[in-house]
Structure 1
Amino acid sequence: MSEPLIEIVETALSRHPCEGQRWLAYSGGLDSTVLLYLLADLGVPLRAVHIHHGLSTAADAWQAHCERVAASLGVPLTAVRVSVDPADGGLEQAARRARYRVFGEVLQPGDQLLVAQHGDDQVETFFLRLLRGAGALGLSAMAESRPLGRGRLLRPLLAAGRGQLENCARERGLAWVEDESNRDQRIERNYLRASVLPLLRQRWPLRQRVVRAADNLREAAALLRDLAETDLAACDRRRERFGESIDLARLRQLPGRRRKNLLRGWLAEQGGSAPEARHLREALEQVAGAAADSAPAVVLGGRVLRRFRDRAYLTPPLPPAPAEGDRSWRGEVPLDLGGGWLLCPGPGWPPGDYRVRFRRGGERAHPNGRRHSQTLKKLLQEAGLEPWLRDLVPLVFRAGAGQAPLAVGDLFVCERGLPGTLEWRHAGPDSAICD
């Protein structure tokens, strides 16, 4: 039974070469156990990652089992404990989000995470999304490969069925763990698997039909993404210090269905999740239809849609407020400001004894070229800095030189003849750390 599965896995790996480290998401269950042994048969260099959700009394035993099996095959294993909050979309969804956060953190650029989802999982996913009212992208089900964190996720078993994996495991005498929650039919996927799909399979070849439908829908979804890209470019899409922005007037000229498609595609590109159609519509109404002097902020798909100066901004959630107090800085290497923000010395910036802090209220500054000092609040408004970033801008002072800032982020300097520049940036997943 192993030979056809080995061919399936080998073909998938050849279609998706890996430039970095390959990882296996290893739960200890049947599917990931079979994939682990198939990869060992192929001699694929591999590391495994096991997520301890803490949801079962047997979770410690499952981790110990995974450690023993991985060690017997010479596969290094990293075990990570996570905290699952059922308020985060329900227990099943919260557990998924928790483990995928870890997967995204583990992967380095060029790495690949192998997961053992197979063709019958694909069928279940298709029907779950159909019953939840998904569109073309959702109904295209699970792609064989997709971006994840700084690497990629690969599902090399999508061409196989659960029965093949079960037969292979029994033929080889493999040991795996059984998650008792898989028998709980209060969980939608389990109910479909045990009570609905077996009846449909009696009449139709479900896996083949779903694969065909998913392929067609994936092509339709790709066309919608292409249209979203075209419309984003036509709306003057622009990279910002934090997130991206588009021109609201041009957005309003698009038909409603294309505005929703644009926002859906924009969210996907920024790493957000797919929201429901009504949430898209409500978000667009709040931002595109708001008064010119308003500043709405709508949480959507894990991102935030905002408005400022006739532009719509799509940003990650803001980091927590920075800690109070001064930070010492020599001006020689990037300073970590917290929340992913960095202050970097630019070419020619002189090393020295600096203090860096954030706004406390009431500050004044005297930028070069101005006759008088002005309130920092007014200067930031004139500089066009987005309102949601104004409490995050770093103020640079010379140590022991009074209360007048030497520089305000990379927006302006306040000392005549000061050489060099500064760079204030957010080091997101697509950003390089300051050189």
Structure 2
Amino acid sequence: MRSTLPTFNEVWQRQFRSGFLKQSEQFQENTQFLIGCSGGMDSMLLLYLMAALCPEQVRAIYINHQLQAISDDWADFVAAQCHALNIPIIIEKVHVAEGNLENQAREARYQAYLKHLQPNEILVLAHHQQDQAETLMLRLLSGAGVSGLTAMKSLDIRENFIIWRPLLDVSREQICQWVEQCHILYVDDPTNLDTHYDRAWCRHELWHILQSRYPKMQQALVRTSILMQDADEILTEVLQQDLTLCGNTERLDLTQFAMLSQARQRQLLSVWMKGQDGYRPSFEMVERLQNEVIASKNDAQAALHWNQFYYLRFQNVLYRLTAETYLASKHVPEQNIAEICCEIGQDLTLASGQFQIQAEKMGLSMALLNQTLRLQYRVGGEKIHLYGRVGTWPLKKAIQNQHIFPWLRHTIQILSIDNVMLGVFTPKGFWLAQSDYVEVDGWLPNLMS
């Protein structure tokens, strides 16, 4: 009995070849393609198609995860097939970190792709219709939101590269038939049958149960992913408006933030915390940021750590700090006191910034140039008589008055000579102290950056 599926030649002439070429029309003439080829049925069909359609623009890459003893043999197989098709091949061994094996293998694989992608090259992957439906199902079971349920895009334009998935609308059944008709060789990965892995479990345990009840389930899930992509695009436009209203990638104005609905607040925080990372924070992590930091008392100095960043509230603004910046404020400098000599035009690289010694109408005495001056980090309890101000007041109060961030206050240093305070180096500049060393036509360290 003849199969109800169209043959490869029928689809090739009537549908697939024209659709394939139409997709590629959006690429420039000199665009090159790097095919991620595992040696499996899907990627070998893709390799065969690309070799037929644009043979001079294609090269392939095989990622050896070194997780199975036979992976070296698979590398040799892919290399031989590429040689037969006259396609250059890259064999790249990667180390898969500990943790969730599927996620870590994917991360290692994409890092290897990025290592070899050229500026004018597009990464081509062999994901098909069932892959798309499985991805949506697994993300749904993990509690993903709209962004996660978009699953995969046929043309995925990312910050540093582009992924093209020309087989995304093709069913696995069609791929199996076409590979057989075209006599394409491939390898079988036994882990695809190991239900210890989520995707294999979904494919071999869950899929047939759901499909027996809902025969059109796969097409319905794919349609849902397309609708989610539309919704995500609309949501992205709203999020961009909200981010512009509330701040930028490093800070959010909580006064403006409070004007948004709770749903928009959650979505904005989720995307803002994600930053350039591939994954959004969990729902629980966003709730912790709202409850533990945003809703904390003004003087609580609460901080939340997630994915190499710390989130803090200061002066009704929410800040996103690198771990390096935040943790530096928690360490006491090994050397609290240093000695420096200054001269006109000299650059000083200090903890609080880059300063340059410049002549000023009013400043420190020229007699102090080339003298040994003392530089000391503040320890607390110091008082300062700022030049031009009446009376002495606590240095801590001056710092607070100038709204210097708490995580930068450890960089402040006091300049003195013979126990006389000359001034203070801060992230907001050099504060000149009232003393007998202040004179007309003197000099000052001016903050450059």
Cα distance in 1 for partners of 2:38, 2:114 equals 16
Cα distance in 2 for partners of 1:196, 1:24 equals 30
Whether contact under 8 Å (2:124, 2:165) holds in the other structure is yes
Report the counterpart of residue 207 of structure 1 in structure 2.
218
Q: State which of 112, 127, 131 in structure 2 corresponds to 1:121.
A: 131
Superposition pairs of residues 44-83 of structure 1, within 5 angstroms: 44=55, 45-83=57-95
CA shift for structure 1 position 181:
0.7
Report the counterpart of residue 220 of structure 1 in structure 2.
231
Report the counterpart of residue 97 of structure 2 in structure 1.
85
TM-score, normalising length: structure 1: 0.71
> Higher strand fraction: Structure 1 or Structure 2?
2
Report the counterpart of residue 281 of structure 2 in structure 1.
275
Q: State which of 262, 272, 280 in structure 2 corresponds to 1:256.
A: 262
3-state SS of paired residue (2:126): coil
Whether contact under 8 Å (1:82, 1:99) holds in the other structure is yes
Cα distance in 2 for partners of 1:103, 1:274 equals 22
Alignment deviations for residues 376-410 of structure 1 (CA, whole Å, 9 cap, x no partner): 7799x79988676899x9xxxxxxxxxxxxx9999
Q: Relative to 1, partners in 2 of residues 1:390 and 1:123: Cα closer, same or farther, differing over 3 Å? A: farther
Q: Relative to 1, partners in 2 of residues 1:271 and 1:160: Cα closer, same or farther, differing over 3 Å? A: same
Segment drifting more, 301-310 vs 62-71: 301-310
Q: Relative to 1, partners in 2 of residues 1:12 and 1:299: Cα closer, same or farther, differing over 3 Å? A: farther
Unpaired runs of at least 5, structure 2 = 1-7, 329-344, 365-373, 379-394, 412-424, 431-441
Letter paired with 1:191: W
Alignment deviations for residues 188-208 of structure 1 (CA, whole Å, 9 cap, x no partner): 211121122223334421232
Does residue 1:186 correspond to 2:192, yes or no? no
TM-score, normalising length: structure 2: 0.69
Cα distance in 2 for partners of 1:17, 1:66 equals 28
Q: Relative to 1, partners in 2 of residues 1:207 and 1:364: Cα closer, same or farther, differing over 3 Å? A: closer
Report the counterpart of residue 438 of structure 2 in structure 1.
none
Q: Say what the alpha-carbon RMSD is for the aligned residues.
A: 4.3
Q: Relative to 1, partners in 2 of residues 1:83 and 1:319: Cα closer, same or farther, differing over 3 Å? A: farther
Cα distance in 2 for partners of 1:65, 1:422 equals 60
3-state SS of paired residue (1:95): helix
Letter paired with 2:87: V
Unpaired runs of at least 5, structure 1 = 323-349, 394-406, 424-435
Cα distance in 2 for partners of 1:355, 1:408 equals 13
Letter paired with 1:38: L
Cα distance in 2 for partners of 1:229, 1:9 equals 33
Cα distance in 2 for partners of 1:355, 1:21 equals 49
CA shift for structure 1 position 309:
4.6
3-state SS of paired residue (1:150): coil
Report the counterpart of residue 150 of structure 2 in structure 1.
140
Q: State which of 30, 33, 36 in structure 1 corresponds to 2:47.
A: 36
Report the counterpart of residue 36 of structure 2 in structure 1.
25
Cα distance in 1 for partners of 2:310, 2:109 equals 23
Q: Relative to 1, partners in 2 of residues 1:206 and 1:288: Cα closer, same or farther, differing over 3 Å? A: same
Letter paired with 2:47: L
- Higher-Rg structure is 2
Cα distance in 2 for partners of 1:98, 1:23 equals 17
Aligned sequence identity (%): 26
Whether contact under 8 Å (1:249, 1:310) holds in the other structure is yes
Report the counterpart of residue 339 of structure 2 in structure 1.
none
Q: Relative to 1, partners in 2 of residues 1:172 and 1:270: Cα closer, same or farther, differing over 3 Å? A: same
Cα distance in 1 for partners of 2:254, 2:119 equals 35
Aligned residues: 372
Cα distance in 2 for partners of 1:19, 1:284 equals 49
Cα distance in 2 for partners of 1:73, 1:416 equals 74
Superposition pairs of residues 8-407 of structure 1, within 5 angstroms: 8-15=19-26, 20-44=31-55, 45-87=57-99, 90-202=100-212, 203-235=214-246, 237-238=247-248, 244-267=250-273, 270-293=276-299, 295-300=301-306, 304-314=310-320, 318=324, 368=358, 371=363
Q: Relative to 1, partners in 2 of residues 1:366 and 1:17: Cα closer, same or farther, differing over 3 Å? A: closer
Letter paired with 1:161: S
Q: Relative to 1, partners in 2 of residues 1:127 and 1:365: Cα closer, same or farther, differing over 3 Å? A: closer
Report the counterpart of residue 341 of structure 1 in structure 2.
none
Letter paired with 2:319: Y
Cα distance in 2 for partners of 1:251, 1:52 equals 47
3-state SS of paired residue (1:55): coil
Cα distance in 1 for partners of 2:322, 2:409 equals 16
Alignment deviations for residues 311-353 of structure 1 (CA, whole Å, 9 cap, x no partner): 323456649999xxxxxxxxxxxxxxxxxxxxxxxxxxx9x9x
